[in-house]
Chain A
Amino acid sequence: MTTALRPDLALICDWIKPGSRILDLGCGDGELLAHLARTHQVTGYGLEIDPEKVASCVEQGINVIQADLDEGLKGFESQSFDYVVMTQALQALQRPDLAIEEILRVGRFGIVTFPNFGHWRVRMGLAQGHMPVTPTLNERWYDTPNIHLCSVDDFERLCEDIGWRILDRRMLNRSHREGWRIRLRPNLFGEVAMYLLQDKEPAPDR
């Protein structure tokens, strides 16, 4: 496999220290883990609910644990991973807030990405009186798995209310690039939001 890594995943790699222990929630075909194992010598596991993708990970030799993220991370000890990563799955969970709480319990750092519901295309759709269908959110209201969409501002307010620390934020457009517009008005122009988070009381370094 020599295909280029998805740009948002490439950005995540910038945040991850070599040799770390990683838990990738909703790991899909294991693209991120496979890449990080090659380039960053990380160890870790992916969690995935879809049997097809589980089989695909196994075929590639990636550690995958078949699990339902909505059941939480009960099987994982506190602070047992350096990074817990969840890309583009937050909005499909029953309780995104509890999920982040779990991510920051299990991981020393959390990495979360989600589609920004404050993007201008979304606002346009709503302004016309319809649930928006955009290139990033391309399912209709009745068949979308996304049940808890939020804007960048909503997300950051939640972090502030609870006390989670935002160590870094990256905003991308749908071709996963950053531009001057996004830097100026992230909640209006960013389509994908990426956060590096830490719990309110960081655990002492091991």
Chain B
Amino acid sequence: MSEAYPADSVGLVQPFKVLIRHPLALDCGRTLPQHELMVETYGQLNAAHSNAILICHALSGDHHVAGYHEGAKKPGWWDNCVGPGKPIDTNRFFVVALNNLGGCRGSTGPNTINPETGKPWGPDFPLVTARDWVRSQALLADELGIQSWAAIIGGSLGGMQVMQWTLEFPERVRHACVIAAAPKISAQNIAFNEIARQAILSDPEFHGGHFYEQGVVPARGLKLARMLGHITYLSDEAMRAKFGRELKTAVPSYNFDVEFEVESYLRYQGQSFVDRFDANTYLIMTKALDYFDPAREYGNDLAAAFRRASARFLVVAFSSDWRFSPQRSREIVKALVDAGRDVSYALIDSQLGHDDFLMPIPQYHRVLRGYLARVAQETA
């Protein structure tokens, strides 16, 4: 390939696998003797190993955050924010991204082979939590020689891992950027997740999670789950602006084929998700989201939890996000203030909804850039 990449892109990138030989005791009580993580890194680790940033991914994200894989036309999922001169500046930072344990993009997960049985893990893969991920990420940090992260950054479920990091390994996180997150998800959010799971579980081709052996994929269930998800990631306003009530044809055809633009969009999103995602992983990810509640161990007092933390925090929310509303971010901020932690909070005026945390909104990127420029000064 001799394609020219944009100047502010990290360019051609190649993921690699890291074998974690250390046993990992999971919250569910089971232990993984070892596991593999699919990882990508950008930029250079400095001599003091002090300029490392970890990016935690959300529900359907993975290790491919920035740059281009060989032959790919589309860059990683947060390419607009990570690269030379971008808010997460790879000229200054060594950026690490991974596919979380239980994922389906190369890390040990339900679609990989269980060494004990020689078959895919499938439904036997343990239900992992945000804390399990953080512990696994800490083992990865050990492998990479990173004693403490200059910053850990994540949006949505990724933001929850960031918070968990500050509680689990306070001495290993200097700055925590918690974006479009919540201290725990609401009953409404759990309800959405439950419908998504039921869509998958009730697909006849799910086969109790053993669909790999049957040579099929529970495509209908996974597609429905994703369609539902997409509704919650967009604001009513954004849907109206994007699709209105436009019919694809001039007159209604009075059947259940795709007629409205929004139907076409959802079906497309659902289908393309089936091609790249695993149904068992989707179940695991939604469960991790449901379980997340770091205050529970501290008498349901989030401020008491954050008294453990020593990181400085940046919390960012988006005005049109109703899935993880600004109100939920303010709960995080309140707990941090009550705990006497350093925190800044920016409410970004936005239109799209929850998905806005992936968009290059100027004010959002300005705040993130400004915050990280300070972090870079400290690490230089």
Contacts and interface: CB of A to CB of B under 8 A. Distances in A.
B344 A65 contact: yes
Interface string A56-75: 01110111111100000001
A65 B343 CA distance: 8
A45 interface: yes
B138 interface: no
B346 A75 contact: no
A45 B334 CA distance: 12
Contacts of A80: 337-338
A76 B330 CA distance: 11
B363 A64 contact: no
Contact of B314 (A45, A58, A67): A58
B371 interface: yes
Given A64-B344, A65-B344, A59 B334 contact: no
B330 A63 contact: no
Interface string A69-89: 000000111001000000000
B334 A75 contact: yes
Q: Is the interface of A mostly helix, strand, loop or mixed?
A: mixed
A152 interface: no
Interface in A21-60: 21, 43, 45, 51, 54-55, 57-59
Contact of A54 (B342, B346, B374): B346
A156 B235 CA distance: 48
B344 A63 contact: yes
B20 interface: no
Given A45-B337, A75-B337, A64 B345 contact: yes
A77 B338 contact: yes
A138 to B, nearest CB: 28
Interface in B13-40: none
Interface residues of B, number: 22
Contact of A45 (B343, B363, B371, B373): B343
Interface in A165-183: none
Contacts of A64: 344-345
Contacts of B374: 58-59, 61
A66 B347 contact: yes
Contacts of B338: 77, 80
A54 B337 contact: no
B367 A54 contact: yes
B333 interface: yes
Nearest to A58: B370
Nearest to A23: B337
B366 interface: yes
A65 B349 contact: no
Contact of A55 (B337, B342, B345, B366): B366
Nearest to B372: A58
B340 interface: yes
A55 B363 contact: yes
B343 A63 contact: yes
A75 B343 contact: no
Nearest to A81: B337
Contacts of A54: 344, 346, 367
A157 to B, nearest CB: 34
Contacts of B347: 66
A69 to B, nearest CB: 14
A62 B346 CA distance: 13
Nearest to A43: B340
7 contacts: A43-B340, A54-B344, A58-B314, A65-B343, A66-B347, A75-B334, A80-B337
Interface of A: 21, 43, 45, 51, 54-55, 57-59, 61-67, 75-77, 80
Smallest CB-CB A-B distances: 10 pairs: A59-B370, A65-B345, A75-B334, A66-B347, A58-B370, A61-B374, A55-B366, A64-B344, A58-B371, A51-B363
Given A54-B367, A59-B371, 6 more contacts: A43-B340, A55-B346, A62-B344, A63-B342, A63-B344, A65-B333
